[in-house]
Amino acid sequence: MSKYEFRDIVVAVTRSKGAVFTLEPARLRAPRNDEVLVRMIATGMCHTDLIIRDQYYPVPLPAVLGHEGAGIVEAIGPQVGSLAVGDHVVLTYGSCGHCSPCNQGLTSYCVDFYELNFGDSTGDGNSAITDRNGLPLHDRFFHQSSFATHALSRENNTIKVPRDAPLELLGPLGCGIQTGAGAVINSLKVTPGSAFLSLGAGAVGMSAILAARLVGATCIIAVDRMPERLELAREIGATHAVNSQEPGWVDQIKAITQGGADFALESTGQPAILTQGVSALAAMGVLGVVGASPQGTMAMLDPNDLMIKGKSIRGICEGDSQPWKLIPDLVTLHMQGRFAFDRLVKFYPFNEINQAAADSEAGKTLKPILLIDGYV
């Protein structure tokens, strides 16, 4: 239970479309109901934070973004039963917990997913964070708004992790890493001996490559336009790397796989890559779409290619992850040395958040992690 009504915190605010993040003092109210107050140790920065900053989706501004938080429980609301003060936790996406998909364990397809993660997560229109002038900041982005020294999550998106795990590393498991790994393990169900194609070798695509190796795919092809990313992809498990800037890159994939890939994951968000990815599939091949494009983006497909070859395409949200299972599993695999997602990250002090964003956009950093504890 909380002993205070409001607490002084520091947040990184996005004040307008495309604006730099500004570190500002703010106030956060105490947790209510099933809410959990988390003292943030570190948070990942995901491409999704940057596309929301740029208003691909109309999240209200000014807002506190950030949705890959990792921290320590500092207080709990009266309805919280499964967490205690001092627990180490990773924060993930929000879900209502009682709609039809949630009742089937398909929480990333919660009927309220968009509203809960990109809209007003409380449903009451009230923000828990106010700025130095007492004005509300849009908060609880992905039920957390983790670009902050403290955040309010809810019990069902607050995942307990072992105390001996490296907490400062774990935040990205809450979104980008579980999306790539979950897409391979849960959604596509990549099989041993198969050919897997990762269209995009960013944080999500690299996590998919790590997972494809884990589940036994024997041909793992990374596609990107950045040679250094392709090099890293090879180091962490890709058996082949193909640069999409080269003419005839789809033919290269068909030659490597002797006809086409069994499974593919599109994480570039580029409709032209999706189109070409479908043509790089083998008969009965499946392509999963995780890359986000501006709303209204259209992709071209020849329906005959789908029909005659029995190919399929499916959208994937958060790797179909049941976070309470997948996140601890990925932590264990990492601690056993079998899921080296630490190869993807670079740490930045919280007050260098704009440098982290710039490096991420320039392709210099794959997965920035902002160290918050002790850096404000």
With contact defined as beta carbons under 8 Å apart, do 217 and 375 qualify? no
* 38 vs 150: CA distance, rounded Å: 6
Closer to ligand NAD by Cβ: residue 34 or 266 = 266
Segment 15 to 54, residues that bind ligand NAD, using CB under 6 A: 46-48, 51
For ligand NAD, the closer of residues 29 and 47 by Cβ is 47
Choose, by CB under 6 A, the member of 11, 80, 129, 201 that binds ligand NAD: 201
Nearer to ligand NAD, 48 or 158 (CB): 48
- Under the criterion CB under 6 A, does residue 278 sit at the interface with ligand NAD? no
The reply to whether 107 sits near ligand NAD by the rule CB under 6 A is no
Residue type, 52: I
Separation of alpha carbons 128 and 30, rounded Å: 8
The encoded tokens of residue 323 equal 């976070």
| Cβ contact 75:31 at 8 Å | yes
Q: Residues 15, 39, 225, 364: which binds ligand NAD (CB under 6 A)? A: 225
CB-closest chain residue to ligand NAD: 202
Please count the residues of the chain: 376
Whose Cβ is closer to ligand NAD: residue 9's or residue 173's?
173
Question: Cβ(159)–Cβ(328) under 8 Å?
Answer: yes
**Least distance CB 329 / ligand NAD (angstroms):** 18
Q: Determine the distance from the C-alpha atom of residue 363 to the mean position of all C-alpha atoms in its chain, rounded to a whole number.
A: 17
Q: Is position 200 an interface residue for ligand NAD (rule: CB under 6 A)?
A: yes
Say how many residues touch ligand NAD, by CB under 6 A: 32
Radius of gyration, CA atoms only, the chain = 20
Stretch that binds ligand NAD, among 5-13, 74-82, 133-141, 316-324 (CB under 6 A): 316-324
- Selected from 66, 94, 174, 202, the binder of ligand NAD by CB under 6 A is 202
Separation in Å, CA 250 to CA 110, 193, 225, 292: 35, 21, 13, 22
| Smallest distance from ligand NAD to CB 136, Å | 26
The set of residues, in sequence order, having a beta carbon less than 8 Å from that of 304 and lying 6+ positions away, is none
Based on CB atoms, which residue is closest to ligand NAD, 2 or 109?
109
Least Å distance, CB 79 to ligand NAD, is: 28
Give the angle subtended at the CA of 353 by the CAs of 268 and 54, to the nearest 5°.
45
In angstroms, the first-to-last Cα distance of the chain is: 26
Binding flag, residue 12, ligand NAD (CB under 6 A):
no
Binding site for ligand NAD (CB under 6 A): 46-48, 51, 175-176, 179, 200-205, 223-226, 229, 244, 267-270, 273, 290-292, 316-318, 363, 366
